[in-house]
Amino acid sequence: QVGLEVHPRTPMARLSTGQEQLVQIAVAIGRGAKLIIMDEPTSSLSQGEALRLYDIIARLKRDGVTLIYVSHRLDEIRLLCDRVTVLRDGKHVDTRRVTDVSTDELVRLMIGRPVGEYFPHHTGTPPGAVRLSVSRLSAAGRFSDISFDVRGGEIVGLAGLVGAGRSEVARAIFGVDRFQSGRILLDGAPLERHGPREAIRRGVGLLPEDRKRQALIVSMTCRQNLSLPLLDRLKRWIFLDGRAEKRITREYFDKLRVVAPGI
């Protein structure tokens, strides 16, 4: 029903994030639940998988199932929902019928300021010199002949369906995965046959798609996770400078407006 074409004996650990989400949706539907809460179910799905999910939701609704759909994608809210409740910083802001509120008004309720202030101003700034140059990067079975440049002050998007190789290219640039051929230049100097340690030393960071599995140690605190890539800066002899660690963590909590019980 969810359109997942994977052998039933495949271990969950081998599935992509998108495939895992489809399995979770299948479990909820298969149990015959009368109330289903979907928490950003399309966050890692391809467009085709998302459209299939929309059809499933429409069928469940016709069958009398109640759904709570959590999303920050406004087009999904308008397409799927009858009523919308906006939360901000853990507090209820407003509840409206979807037909009674415009997209601009939804954005204003979500971010707390007019929609005109939401759009970035950096797009009108001319880009600087080339910082990262990727030339004919290839890895057998994952991606082939990838070339692009990224300039200072510029944001470059990699688009494609799930499984198209976007994440694999990012992991290769960061040094998590090896590549067979091609060249990576960072500020004109080669960044090749390297690993994450060298990438971090050169000023490269990676925020992977699956952050729980590939970016965080979930049994450790926010403070400890944040300091892991900074240990060289935080150590005193063989000890960790706890005061500096707390100071830096507080600084980034404030900058990024992290909402958590504590650091």
Residue 120: is its pLDDT beyond 80?
no
Tell me the C-alpha distance between 199 and 52, whole Å: 39
Task: Check residue 201 and give its pLDDT.
Answer: 87
- pLDDT above 80 for 139: yes
Q: Mind listing the pLDDT tens digit for each residue in 202-236?
A: 999 999 888 888 889 999 999 999 998 888 889 88
How sure is the predictor about 115, in pLDDT bands with cuts at 50, 70 and 90? low
What pLDDT is recorded for position 118? 62
Work out the pLDDT band at 43, boundaries 50, 70, 90. Answer: confident
156: three-class secondary structure by DSSP: coil
* H or E element that contains 1: none
Residue 86 phi/psi, 5-degree rounding, is -100, 130
Say what the pLDDT of residue 225 is: 93
- Report in angstroms the alpha-carbon separations of 61 from 53, 56, 97, 161: 12, 9, 17, 28
Predicted local confidence at residue 232, as pLDDT: 85
Q: What pTM was estimated for this model as a whole?
A: 0.64
Average pLDDT of the segment spanning 8-22: 85
* Per-residue pLDDT tens over the stretch 143-185: 999 999 999 989 999 988 777 889 999 999 999 998 999 999 9
Taken in order 200, 171, 136, 129, the sign of the CA dihedral is: negative
